[in-house]
Structures are given as C-alpha cells and as structure tokens.
C-alpha cells in the first residue's frame, strides 16, 4: 500500500478509545461531520467523534471516528457500527493517490461529484481535494445483510459530501 494512503493506518492504530473524553470543541477531521450528521449517516445515535493524528512516510493524517451508541447496529454482535473520516496531507500524496487508484483498476470505481476526483476501493472512499485526500469508511458491519455494498457506499458518499463541503483550503 502506498505510504500516503497508509498514513490512515498510522493514525488508525486500533479502535476508538473507550475511555471517556471531556467535552470539548471538535478538532480537525472531527469538525467535518457533526455528531448528529454522523448519527444520520449510520442510522443510529452516535457519541462524540474520537480524533487521532499521526504521520508516516511524509504524510500527515488526521482521523475521526464516530461510534454508534448501540452495539451490533452493523450486524456484528458486540461491536458498534463506526464511521471513520481521515484527512491526509503531504508532498507525495497526489502521486500515492494515483498509484493506489491505478494499482488494481478493476477494483477501483470512480465516484463523480466529490472533490477534484474520487474513487472507492475495498469499500473505502478516497476523495482528492486540492493537495489533500479525504478517506471515508464504515467499520464493524456485515454485508450483504444488514448492509449491502451499495448502502455502505452511499453512507460513505453522504459523509464525504458533508466533509468536503467543510474542508478548508490547504
């Protein structure tokens, strides 16, 4: 996996923390989707987004994860359905984005109407916005039941539209 899109892995570092977080104004990627909007996308009330930042291979990633309050909503018993939004930036990002897209063209589907260009691969949506990449993914779900591939992609596109609209120029 190219270093740029791997930065999401650098900030991912595991599941969202379970420890309570003091109420504070959302930061970075957590400002791109409100708690209410994340709940609408997931179809279930969610808690405040949990933010994590990190760097890998010259790429900086800022990640926010919103988790459904009710576990099992995505079809996996004991696991909350999650919405993840990652914003990555760095000098090699555009080239890495294009490599990831071209790596397996049969698996990467173009998605119109988002940012400068967008594609979905392995049920994860990547959007080029200026010199940054916004990635959106759902976690802890089962398909085709209760969520179909089309429903997952639509939820990711809905979240991406909100986030792209709020992403400030770099």
Q: What is the pLDDT of residues 96-120, one digit of tens each?
A: 898 888 988 888 999 999 999 999 9
The percent of residues above 90 in pLDDT, for the chain, comes to 56
Q: What is the pLDDT of residues 47-70, one digit of tens each?
A: 999 999 998 888 889 999 999 999
The DSSP output letter for 141 is B
The pLDDT-based confidence of 92 (bands split at 50, 70, 90) is confident
pTM of the predicted protein model: 0.82
Q: What span, in angstroms and rounded, lies between the C-alpha atoms of 45 and 28? A: 21
Domains of the chain (ranges; CATH) run 3-8+27-166 (3.40.1000)
Sheet of strand 132-139: strand arrangement: 50-56, 59-71, 80-90, 132-139, 124-129, 117-121, 108-110
Closest CA to 90 of 63, 50, 32, 130: 130
Q: What span, in angstroms and rounded, lies between the C-alpha atoms of 48 and 34? A: 8
């Amino acid at each position: 996996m190219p270093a740029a899109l791997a930065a999401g892995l650098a900030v991912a570092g595991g599941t969202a923390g379970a420890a309570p977080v003091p109420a504070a104004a959302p930061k970075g990627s957590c400002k791109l989707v409100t708690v209410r909007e994340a709940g609408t996308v997931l179809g279930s009330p969610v808690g405040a987004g949990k933010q994590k930042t990190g760097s890998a291979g010259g790429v900086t990633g800022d990640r926010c994860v919103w988790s459904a309050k009710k576990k099992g909503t995505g079809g996996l018993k004991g696991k909350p359905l999650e919405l993840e939004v990652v914003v990555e930036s760095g000098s090699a990002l555009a080239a890495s984005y294009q490599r990831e897209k071209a790596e397996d063209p049969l698996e990467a589907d173009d998605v119109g109407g988002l940012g400068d260009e967008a594609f979905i691969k392995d049920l994860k949506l990547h959007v080029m916005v200026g010199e940054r990449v916004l990635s959106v993914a759902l976690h802890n779900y089962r398909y085709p039941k209760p969520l179909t591939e089309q429903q997952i992609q639509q939820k990711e596109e809905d979240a991406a539209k909100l986030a792209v609209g709020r992403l400030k120029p770099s």
